[in-house]
Amino acid sequence: MAKGKSNNVIAKILSVAPGTVDTYLRRVFNKLGVADRTTAAVKGVGMGLIQA
């Protein structure tokens, strides 16, 4: 997600359904306290969870 991949591409990489990716992302957004992909990526980088 932080590299700009769509839910469909992420689903193919993980071998799961796109709906599963959507569920995962909504849970991540909730845990990070954000509402969108961009803010989640920025916050993840800031927290050291992902590398830029």
pLDDT for 52 equals: 73
Half-sphere exposure of 27 (CA within 13 A, CB side): 6
pLDDT for 1 equals: 87
Tokens 């909504």 belong to: 26
pLDDT for 21 equals: 96
Helices 7-14 and 18-32 cross at an angle (nearest 10°) of: 110
* Cβ proximity of 9 and 15 under 8 Å: no
Measure the CA–CA gap between 3 and 13, rounded to whole angstroms.
13
pLDDT for 26 equals: 96
Per-residue pLDDT for the chain (52 aa), expressed as one digit of tens each? Answer: 888 899 999 999 999 999 999 999 999 999 999 999 999 999 999 999 988 7
pLDDT for 14 equals: 96
